Structure formats: structure tokens, C-alpha cells
Amino acid sequence: MALRKASSLHRRRRLKQNIPLFMMLIPVFAFYILFKYWPMGGLVIAFKNYNFADGILHSPWVGMKNFNILFSSSNTLRIIWNTFWLSFLNLVIGFPVPIFLAILLNEVRKTWFKKWVQTIIYLPHFFSWIIVSGIVLSLFATDYGSINKVLKLLSIEPITFLYESNSWVTIFVGSGIWKEMGFSTIIYLAALTTIDPSLYESAGMDGASKWRQIWHITLPGIRPTIILLLILAMGRLMEVGFDQVYNLQNSAVAEVSEVISTYIYKIGLGSSQFSLTTAMGLFESIIGCTLVLIANHIARKFDQALF
């Protein structure tokens, strides 16, 4: 009894000491409740024929009709495929780039050069997609783009980079990598600081080359961070940033550039078909949640599960 009473007093004392910290969490909880959890109630629109007059609660139920309309349309299937394909390319091509950069920067011994490179590659993260799309247009535009101006000086016909499907996808993926690789690189650099330097010294004394040290020490040392970011990226596999696509797409490449986010904007807000686009958004969220659970299950096999 005495031990139990002492334990209870200790918990109360710690609770009182941490009250300021709990109060600091109130805005965080309020944000997630108001902007993340509360809006989930609106998902019921996906199963209704929503209209402003009746509102969310009183609009007539239609069951799975909206989903049947969506998945019976070849246009919808194409949009889902475009979303998946562009996200897949971003993941497969873009995910290893920050790891590679972090490892290279970790090997740099000149501190001033290392900081300079970090700043240069991190800077685009703060640019909006309006700015980035302007840079892309100034480089690849057919009439006034810098690249086509150089080609014209060399008596080469201009190339319509932004109006051909393959080149548009390449520019889309490349611009996304350029903008965000610096942010992830800093995360991996922070993870690299946790590796014991004596491991490299021991490996060097045993005759291990630099590539062997990277393979057997560096990569295993940051494996938990890699898996964590991979699981989070898998959850966004069906999400392609609206800003990026909307600012780079045009009617000539609509076959490959129309994705779920732009579809929701054009059909939902432009045509006021809120039930259809809510059904599409719900489908996207279910796929994302499923992919996170699958990735986490695979990570658990390597004792690196997130939850």
C-alpha cells in the first residue's frame, strides 16, 4: 500500500510539473481536431447526392452510386493511373537522391564547402510552385526558353519540351526532385551524425575501402531513417501535389498530366460535383492508408516498423 501511494504521489507530482508542456500541446490538438479529424465527417457526402439546399445531413442517400459512376468511366481510370504512375516515378527516382547526396556531403572534409552546398540544395524547398514553374518555363518554353534559344543559335529546331508526354513527365519528376531533395538530405545528414566514428576507423584499419565503409556502416546506420521516410512516402503514393501539376500542365499533355488532385479541383469546384470528387478523395485516402500498412508490415520483418 505504501509503495502504491508513493507511486501515485510521484505521478501527480510529475503531472503538475508537466502542466506547462501539456498546455503547449493544446494548439496542436486543436489544429488536428479542427482541420484533420472534424472535416472527416464530410466524407459522408461520397454516399449522398449532395446539394447546398439540403446540406450534408439532409441530402438524399445514393449509396455506392458515386463510386459506380467513377469507376465505370475510362477517364477516371486514366486519372487514377496517371496519379499512381507520376507518384511512383517520384518515389523510385526521387527517394534515393537525398540519400546519395547526404552520403557525398558526409564525406566532404571542407566545412565551408559542405555548408555552401547544403544551402544551395536546401534553398529551392522554400520556393513556391509558382516560382518553380516560372523557372521551368523560362528554361523549357518553346518560344522564349533558354534551352531553345541556345538551340536556335546552333541552327537546331526548337523542341517542344512541355508539349510532349515523355519530356513533360521527365521535367515534372526532375523539378520535384530539385525542389525537395535538400530538405530530405538534411534529415539524412542528421541521422549520419549518430554513427560512431570509431566504426569507420576500425574499418579503415582492416583495409575496407570507402565504398565498403558506406555499404557496411553508413547505410545500415541510417536504415531506420530510410525506412521511416519510405513508409511516410508510401502513404503519399496516391498524392501528386496539386500546385506542381496545375502550374506545369497544359492541354497538350492532359493524357498524362491529369491527376486526382486536379480532377477534384476542376470537377468538384468547377462543376460543383462535390459528391463525385469526395468519393474520389475517399478512394485516394483508403489506398494511401493501405499502402502505409503494407509498408509498415514489410518494415516489421526487418524490426523497423513505425507502429
CB neighbour list of residue 6: distance below 8 Å, 6 or more residues apart: none
How large is the average pLDDT for residues 159-179? 92
What are 90-110's pLDDT values in tens digits? 999 999 999 999 999 988 888
Residue where the block lists cell 519528376: 173
Q: What sign does the CA torsion over 266, 272, 273, 279 have?
A: positive
What are 2-52's pLDDT values in tens digits? 556 666 777 778 888 888 888 888 999 999 999 888 888 888 989 998 888
Question: What confidence tier does 277 reach under pLDDT thresholds 50, 70, 90?
Answer: confident
Count CA within 13 A, CB hemisphere, residue 177: 21
The per-residue pLDDT for 168 is 94
Residue 220 above 80 pLDDT? yes
What's the rounded Cα separation, in Å, for the pair 40 and 43? Answer: 6
Answer whether 172's CB lies under 8 Å from 258's CB.
no
The per-residue pLDDT for 202 is 86
Compare 231 and 257 and report the one with higher pLDDT. Answer: 257
Residue 171 above 90 pLDDT? yes
Query: Mean pLDDT over all residues of the chain?
Result: 86
Q: What percent of the chain has pLDDT over 70?
A: 96
Residue 306 above 60 pLDDT? no
The per-residue pLDDT for 57 is 83
CA distances for 57 relative to 43, 49, 188, 214, 253, angstroms: 11, 11, 47, 58, 40
Does the pTM surpass 0.85? The reply is: no
**Smallest Cα–Cα separation from 106: which of 228, 217, 230, 227?**
217
What's the rounded Cα separation, in Å, for the pair 221 and 304? Answer: 12
Question: What confidence tier does 269 reach under pLDDT thresholds 50, 70, 90?
Answer: confident
What's the rounded Cα separation, in Å, for the pair 178 and 168? Answer: 15
Q: What percent of the chain has pLDDT over 90?
A: 19
